[in-house]
Amino acid sequence: MSAVFSLDTIERYSIEHDLDGPRIRLGFVWFVAVFASMLLGTVAVAVLFGLVAGAAGLQTAAAWRSHRVRVNQALAGVGPVAVTLGAALSARLGGVLLIVFALAAVAFGPDFSIDPALLEPARRQRQLAVAAATLRAGLFPAIAATAVVLVHDVDTMAMAMLVALVCVYDCGDYLCGAGYQSRVVGPLSGIAGIVVVTLTMTQINPVPAESDVAVFAIGVLAAVLCPAGQLFASWLLPEPRSASPALRRLDSWLLIAPMFLVLAWLLG
């Protein structure tokens, strides 16, 4: 029964790829932009991922507003940008700004006004509902984008490994999964791509994966967390099929990027 429930849950939250429009060309442009920012430096990475994370926050908040949920859409968009750019200066500043973002979501209503009546339990309950929707829209894109910036700060080759794992997964997921009724074909194809990248990385052993064991550990995590990130992104939306193109651009990064950063710090 639990297995059936799990499969039903996966079917519900998995991505239904849109075949309309220049999807492959946009994916290629995204890869080129990521690769170029990686070569240009940490600030360039922060600008690129910060803008995409901010757009993800705005679009996700807009999706919630369309369902008549009170949310601070502007804060959901500005917060991820500020946190990511702050992380480019220092990890500590990025962490501080992340806390400030969370506190601002709690303190401000949907229009940046602080109501003195918030001390009343009923008002406070409504305010927390606004904060929850705002953070659901913007917090996790902010964390993922910040993690990518800090991975680049650890070492350029570390980010190259992360980019290779995620982009190959996305490529396999879309090219093989689009058009299939079964929604597991795409993720399985993406995981197959991760296996190839992992085996290749054992010949390079980039920082921080300077042993084959570390490479395989990261590969296994990517194989689990990239598809899990897509499901998690669906949960962040009011409905799994709600429109948020920027969030979908980051969905495979949402879980693997922070975990990759933790491993990079531990192995470093």
* Per-residue pLDDT tens over the stretch 106-139: 888 787 776 665 666 666 777 888 999 999 999 9
Say if residues 146 and 83 touch (Cβ distance below 8 Å). Answer: yes
pLDDT at 1: 38
The whole-model pTM stands at: 0.92
pLDDT at 2: 44
Nearest partner of 247 among 99, 133, 136, 167, judged by Cα: 136
Domain ranges of the chain: 21-267
- pLDDT band per the 50, 70, 90 thresholds, residue 43: very high
Q: Which single residue is written with the structure tokens 């750019």?
A: 85
Residue 95 has pLDDT above 70, yes or no: yes
Residue 248 has pLDDT above 70, yes or no: yes
Cβ neighbourhood burial of 4 (10 Å; 0-12, 13-18, 19+): exposed
Token output for 254: 């949402």
Residue 4 has pLDDT above 60, yes or no: no
Report which secondary-structure segment, H or E, holds 148.
helix 121-154
- pLDDT band per the 50, 70, 90 thresholds, residue 203: very high
What is the residue-averaged pLDDT of the chain? 90
Alpha-carbon gap, residue 11 to 9, rounded angstroms = 5
**Amino acid residing at 146:** T
Other Cβ atoms less than 10 A from the Cβ of 165: the count is 26
